[in-house]
Amino acid sequence: MIDIKLLRQNPEIFIEALKKRNASTELVDEILKIDAEWRKLTTEINNLKAERNNLSKLVAKAKAEKDEEKAKELIERSKKIGEEIKKIEEKQKELEEKIMEIALNIPNIPADDVPVGKDETENVEIRRWGEPKKFDFEPKAHWDLGPDLGLLDFERAAKLSGSRFTVMYGYFARLERALIQFMLDVHTKEHGYTEVWVPQLVKREAMLWTGKLPKFEEDAYNTTQDDMFLIPTAEVPLVALHAQEILSEKELPKKYTAYSACFRREAGSYGKDVRGMIRQHQFDKVELVWITTPERSSEDLEQLTRDAERILQLLELPYRVITLCTGDLGFTAAKTYDIEVWLPSYNAYKEISSCSNTTDFQTRRSNIRFRGKDNKLHFAHALNGSGLAVGRTLVAIIENYQNPDGSITIPKVLVPYMGIERIP
RNA sequence: GGAGAGGUGGCCGAGUGGUCGAAGGCGCUUGCCUGCUAAGCAAGUGUGGGGGUUACCCCACCGAGGGUUCGAAUCCCUCCCUCUCCGCCA
């Protein structure tokens, strides 16, 4: 949620932000116009209410003095004012709803150090780690490798659930589980995160608080009977944890990690990543969320990103980190680093984690505040990142660690979790 | 699904139609004091919105939304949430 006061005082900030994002700026003008009208009505209402409050006091006084005549007259006047207030309030409410509707559709302001660009082609690479492996044989894509080993089954998955679902058997299923365990262990034992186990169905409000609604309703699975949503990421329950709360500055930053399944309808991505298990309706993810202060949030994003990178380093998978340019930045994010892992099947780096500073965008919607050293209340900042997407990590391992005979070497750090050194 | 209880400020908790934005306690801030961080004493301390050049003024908020009333934390309705018991169930 944007700060309407800031928009009122410095609309140019928002116009600039929307331009940088390659988005239309007319919402700003529209909201300003409605807001001016709203303030006019608000002042009118406030004055009328003040008058009515005064009359009410006089009524009480008149009644105490047993001056029924006077009380009656005052009540008449007060009644008329009440009717007038009601009329104006109806108009005010309409305007309020319009303002809300527009405000909820204005994205976060990009941070100053985010490169300006029109789309993903202008994202900026920050650093690389490791070298893409050179194979002295033709490496298979996971969508061939998995079925050949009898460990990935897209056909039966489609039978049960349709496209963009996968069934895994045996060692692959175990590898998925091992990765979850491994990632959680690293983040809790080495990076100081608190492990959280969260609901994977949330109320509409939780989706709204975290910026997933109302703009992206078509992307989410919704249970029609109870209006619950299947979470698209554990970021939703983790950020919503502290909604409507006032935290003390001492307890910040809060660093949470959670495993969850994630559910996405992938509406509008029909042509993308149709083969294999890169883009699924259901996938596992270990999520990282920080609730922190405005002073340190941009520094904290660096740390969060490093924490996610650490998993790839331990797995010895080559990757690079890019900064999303303003045109590619997500709705809630002020700044985002994507971590991309090397995938032989794509012959390219492919997103495996997205680490964002949402500044006060989500905390404003969720009303997450903290009492600062100045003893005043401030909105906290919220960061989130994948640490990592488990399914894509599994794909990266099987593709990068495959051998000429079709077997797969297990990365050293996973051997204790798998109990074997190679598949099969 | 059925029956009951309840949701008040950072926290606990009182308050059943007018002077309640809300007693009291805890916490917090500041000052004083005591040979130490403890105790004690005093004062201050909610949030959001609108207006004004400052001092400041006004409005709203006691789970949410409606209603009754001149006037609602207090009465009525709807909804949400929490708890207890019963039923069902992994």
Nearest to A390 by CA among A302, A324, A315: A315
| Mean predicted lDDT score pLDDT of chain A | 92
pLDDT of A274 reads 84
Mean pLDDT of A175-202: 95
A39, closest nucleotide (Cα–C1'): B50
Cα angle at A306 between A302 and A311, to 5 degrees? 160
Distance A131 CA to B36 C1' (A): 61
Bridge-based pairing of strands A246-248 and A319-323 is unpaired
* A395 close to A277: Cβ distance less than 8 angstroms: yes
Mention every residue, 6+ apart, whose C-beta is less than 8 A from residue A73.
none
Token pair for A2? 């944007």
pLDDT digits (tens, 9 = 90+) for A387-417: 999 999 999 999 999 999 999 999 999 999 9
Distance (Å, rounded) from C-alpha A1 to C-alpha A316?
39
pLDDT digits (tens, 9 = 90+) for A31-81: 999 999 999 888 888 888 888 888 888 887 777 777 778 888 888 888 888
Distance A338 CA to B2 C1' (A): 52
Distance (Å, rounded) from C-alpha A365 to C-alpha A242?
12
Tell me the C-alpha to C-alpha distance, in Å, between residue A28 and each of A2, A40, A104, A131, A257: 11, 19, 12, 46, 37
pLDDT digits (tens, 9 = 90+) for A79-100: 888 888 888 888 888 888 888 8
* A142 close to A279: Cβ distance less than 8 angstroms: no
b/e for A246-268, b at 16 or more Cβ within 10 A? ebeeeebbbbbbbbbebbbbeee
Distance A196 CA to B58 C1' (A): 46
Distance (Å, rounded) from C-alpha A254 to C-alpha A247?
10
Token pair for A106? 């204005």
Give the residue numbers of A annotated as catalytic, written as ranges.
Answer: 264, 279, 351, 354, 392
Beta bridge partners of residue A263, listed in sequence order: A282
Residue A136 per-residue DSSP state: S
What is this model's ipTM?
0.82
For strand B, the positions having any atom within 7 A of a protein Cβ are 10-11, 18-19, 28-29, 47-51, 58-60, 66, 70-71, 81
Domains and their CATH numbers in chain A: 4-103 (1.10.287.40), 120-423 (3.30.930.10)
Distance A397 CA to B52 C1' (A): 66
Residue A179 per-residue DSSP state: H
pLDDT of A378 reads 87
Distance (Å, rounded) from C-alpha A153 to C-alpha A140?
16
Token pair for A272? 């993308």
Any strand B atom closer than 7 Å to A66 CB: no
Beta bridge partners of residue A322, listed in sequence order: A125, A338
* A422 close to A410: Cβ distance less than 8 angstroms: yes
Distance A199 CA to B4 C1' (A): 28
pLDDT of A83 reads 83
Residues 1-60 of A with CB under 7 A from strand B: 4-5, 8, 39, 42-43, 45-47, 49-50, 52-57, 59-60
Beta bridge partners of residue A335, listed in sequence order: A357
* A360 close to A379: Cβ distance less than 8 angstroms: yes
Residues 223-252 of A with CB under 7 A from strand B: 246
Distance (Å, rounded) from C-alpha A103 to C-alpha A97?
10
